[in-house]
Amino acid sequence: MTVSDESPFRGKSVMVVGGSRGIGAAIVASFAAAGATVRFTYAGSRDAAEALATSTGSIAIHGDAADRDHLLASVREAGVLDVFVYNAGLLESGDPLTLDPDAVDRLIDVNVRGPYHAFVEAARRMADGGRIIAIGSVHGDRMPFSGFTAYGMSKSALQGLARGLARDFGPRGITVNVVQPGPTDTDMNPADGPLVQRMHDEMAIRRHGTAEEVASLVRYLASPPARGITGAMHTIDGGFGA
Ligand code: NDP
């Protein structure tokens, strides 16, 4: 694939935590197609990660985002980053009275502790004007279903994280934003899954979004015209939260 000489991402350094499948893989492919040098981490999906690395020319790094030492080491190894995206996320659903507390703690490790520590570490060596983006969820704003408390809590936490870090890093021109998808067709939430009708009933545009649509929004937030957008939540949910 040829990349336009005018692509703002040509030669830029991008890292995506959790990039082997779904939305993360679409983000990796989008930045790679725009000429960036892209690294991404993955935990379980080695075959998918290796295939993506080969097809996009990106670099796959094996490691669990819940392992803070490994996560921070992989951020440090990336060197000076222009764009850092934390996409990895776990979903645990069920009655909070019976949900396994260890599973809830792991969700918090991956969905909240990981982004906090990784964003701080990325910012240490990020170029001025760099971009930090968390993949949150419309459930950070709105929860019309029972059984998703821990997940919703974790995505709301990203909002406070982005608002705070936007202030902390704003003097360096670094922006910090959250992209909040609604139902999006991936392994986590397949468009033919059991809850589809309930989800679509909540939407103005009654279809699952695509990972590529979410990746387009991420890429816009990382682009030069978005330099004044920070500390903000960007919902792409087919009107689920309207
Ligand atoms: P998938 O489950 O389809 O993919 C998750 C990705 O994250 C995989 O690449 C997986 O890699 C990686 N990942 C998960 N856990 C870890 C970990 N501990 N360490 C490193 N990587 C990890 O999810 P989606 O693509 O659907 O979701 C991506 C993000 O978007 C999540 O944060 C999710 O909460 C959010 N989101 C998704 C929505 C949807 O409807 N799909 C709606 C709203 C938000 P591997 O398999 O290699 O472990």
Residue 5 lies in a domain: no
Compute the average pLDDT of residues 153-171: 98
Report phi then psi at 63, rounded to 5.
Answer: 175, 145
Residue 8 lies in a domain: no
Q: Give the single-character DSSP code of 113.
A: I
What's residue 72's pLDDT? 98
* Distance separating alpha carbons of residues 72 and 116, to the nearest angstrom: 11
Structural domain boundaries enclosing 167: 13-236
pLDDT at 168 over 80: yes
pLDDT at 1 over 90: no
pLDDT at 2 over 80: no
Sign of CA dihedral 219, 223, 227, 228: negative
- Which protein residue has the closest C-alpha to ligand 1 atom 21? 18
44 CA from centroid of ligand 1 (Å)? 11
Residue 108 lies in a domain: yes
Ligand 1 first shell, C-beta below 6 A:
18-24, 41-45, 49, 64-66, 87-90, 110, 135, 137, 181, 183-184, 186-189
H/E stretch holding 149 = helix 149-169
What's residue 26's pLDDT? 98
> CATH number for the domain including 70?
3.40.50.720
- Which protein residue has the closest C-alpha to ligand 1 atom 31? 89
What's residue 5's pLDDT? 73
The percentage of the chain sitting over the pLDDT mark of 90, rounded to a whole number, equals: 96
Q: What is the pLDDT of residues 181-236, one digit of tens each?
A: 999 999 999 999 999 999 999 999 999 999 999 999 999 999 999 999 999 999 99
Side chain identity at residue 172, one-letter code: R
Q: What is the pLDDT of residues 37-56, one digit of tens each?
A: 999 999 999 999 999 999 99
- Which protein residue has the closest C-alpha to ligand 1 atom 44? 137
What's residue 133's pLDDT? 99
Q: Give the single-character DSSP code of 146.
A: S
Residue 175 lies in a domain: yes
Q: Which atom of ligand 1 is nearest to the CA of 209?
A: 40
Residue 30 lies in a domain: yes
Query: Of 42, 86, 116, 151, which is the active-site residue?
Result: 151
Q: Which atom of ligand 1 is nearest to the CA of 109?
A: 18
* Distance separating alpha carbons of residues 74 and 77, to the nearest angstrom: 5
Q: How many domains are there within the chain?
A: 1
Residue 1 lies in a domain: no
pLDDT at 96 over 70: yes
Residue 6 lies in a domain: no
Please report how the helices 22-33 and 46-56 are oriented relative to each other, as an axis angle in degrees rounded to 10: 20
Side chain identity at residue 195, one-letter code: L
187 CA from centroid of ligand 1 (Å)? 8
The band of 29, judged by pLDDT with boundaries at 50, 70 and 90, is: very high
* Distance separating alpha carbons of residues 139 and 142, to the nearest angstrom: 5
Report phi then psi at 111, rounded to 5.
Answer: -85, -25
Tokens of 70: 């490994």
The band of 6, judged by pLDDT with boundaries at 50, 70 and 90, is: confident
* Distance separating alpha carbons of residues 208 and 199, to the nearest angstrom: 9
Residue 208 lies in a domain: yes
